[in-house]
Structure 1
Amino acid sequence: MSKLRVNAFTLSLDGFGAGPGQTLQNPLGVGGEDLHKWMIGTRTFRKMVLGADGGTTDVDDRFTVSSFDNVGAWILGRNMFGPVRGEWPDENWKGWWGDNPPYHVPVFVLTHYKRDPIEMEGGTTFHFVTGGIHDALDQAKAAAGGKDVRVGGGVSTIRQYLQEKLIDELHLAVSPVLLGRGENLFAGLDMLKLGYQCTEQVATALATHVTIKRG
């Protein structure tokens, strides 16, 4: 059965999913790159995102590998697609990842502003959804062909799906970094009341991997 998943989403110790002040030059915000050290060195990340050889094949890599398993479509908030705000000024911005993004399946980007789909190399097509989270999920499930749909973030997008009890499983990597400010994933959410519970935790030198599922 198809699931709605969050995988390899990194949080700081104080609960923030990205640093403040996202810009074109600083896509993860101030201090945001420090969150992702656990993944950046893995063989899977280096191959799929950087197109490079080498990297670790440890527990961190295992979680990175599983994050791509059985994913037939993605959902992203607009900030995950790029730093552009408001109306799309032109068609030039096509995401952070160059001509061949690491998704290789349809990606549905939540936005308030219409834009035509963008077909990229490697099987990724960005679709821009103005009808909200339920519309994006319906389109993503249809495109996934029975496989899972992965919510890539950001924090606001994940929170919206959690509030609606739509996410079946979350894998969070808690990094030993304090950001101090930003957008907090769990602020104001009663995860127990929403029906979620922790089912697994595995610690490595660079992160504590936590799996949360809805019963």
Structure 2
Amino acid sequence: MSKLRVESFTISLDGFGAGPDQDLANPLGVGGTSLHGWAMSTRTFQKHVFGKDGGASGIDEDFAQRGFQNMGAWIMGRNMFGPVRGPWPDESWRGWWGENPVYHVPVFVLTNHARPPLVMEGGTTFHFVTEGPVVALERARAAAGGKDIRVGGGVDTIQQYLRLRLIDEMHIAISPVLLGAGERLFEGINLPALGYACTRHESSPLATHVVFTRQ
């Protein structure tokens, strides 16, 4: 059976997975971009995010690369899709990534407000799911064709799947920065009580990589 995985989700030393006050100028909240220095220089991110050749190898690249291996679908929260709140005023917002997003597989967006599927270039189609996280996962599994599903974020979306004990494996990168405010990933989350244990940890000069597995 396919796995539900969190990959390359980065938190600060003080536990924040995003900064405050997300808007068009700050897609990850104020200061949130500083979390991802470890990833931006890797070959995987240069290729998938920026469409460029080259980039760094090593531990950071190994973890960045695994986040794209065997992925048949993604799930994300509405905040990750964009800064628009409440009912959709129109269909003009099409995501942060341009007409050819980085996913290239079906993406299921958790939202309280219905919207028709959004077909993009490169194989990405955004499906807007109003029936909750379990239904989104069922639809993602059906679309993934036996491959794994990646939960992309944000913090609230990952917390929902953790509390339901549906995440099989979770790679968290801890970046050596302090945000001071934002959304704490493990706020109110008791990982041992939910059946999760640390099964791998490695460090590079830019991040500490930790893998949690549901036992």
What's the TM-score once normalised by structure 1's chain length?
A: 0.99
The match for 2:198 is: 198
Which residue is 2:136 aligned to? 136
Q: Which residue number corresponds to residue 74 of structure 1? A: 74
Relative to structure 2, which stretch is displaced further, 76-85 or 182-191? 182-191
Q: CA deviation at 1:43?
A: 1.1
- Alpha-carbon distance in 2 for matches of 1:206, 1:119: 36
Q: How far apart in 1 are the matches of 2:142 and 2:27?
A: 30
The superposition leaves residues 114-170 of structure 1 with CA deviations (integer Å, 9 ceiling, x where unpaired) of 000011111000000000000100000000011111100000000000001000000
Query: For residues 76 and 114 of structure 2, what CA distance do their matches in structure 1 show?
Result: 15
2:102 equivalent in structure 1: 102
Give the 5 Å matches for 1:12-31. 12-31=12-31
SS of the equivalent of 2:141 reads helix
Amino acid paired to 2:201? Q
Counterparts of 2:29 and 2:185, CA distance in 1: 16
| Secondary structure, counterpart of 2:16 in structure 1 | coil
Q: Which runs of 4+ in 1 moved over 6 A?
A: none
What amino acid is aligned across from residue 205 of structure 2 in structure 1? A
Q: Distance in 1 between matches of 2:185 and 2:10?
A: 10
* In 2, Cα distance between equivalents of 1:44 and 1:193: 34
1:1-215 to 2 correspondence within 5 Å?
1-215=1-215
Instruction: Give the Cα–Cα distance (whole angstroms) in 2 for the partners of residues 194 and 63 of structure 1.
Output: 24
Alpha-carbon displacement from aligned partner over 1:153-208 (angstroms, at most 9, x marks no partner): 00000000000100000000000011111111111111101000000000001100
CA distance in 2, matches of 1:180, 1:133: 29
- Alpha-carbon distance, 1:52 to partner: 1.4
CA distance in 1 between partners of 2:88 and 2:187 (Å) = 31
Measure the CA separation in 1 of the matches of 2:21 and 2:54: 32
Q: Distance in 1 between matches of 2:169 and 2:57?
A: 24
Gaps in structure 1 of 5+ consecutive residues: none
Q: Distance in 1 between matches of 2:160 and 2:135?
A: 13
Aligned-residue Cα RMSD (Å) equals 0.6
Give the secondary structure class of the aligned counterpart of 1:68: coil
What stretches of structure 2 of length at least 5 have no aligned partner? none
Q: Which amino acid aligns with 1:81?
A: F
Displacement of 1:29: 1.0
Measured in 2, the distance between the counterparts of 1:190 and 1:173 equals 19
Percent of residue pairs bearing the same amino acid type: 65
Normalized against structure 2, the TM-score is what?
A: 0.99
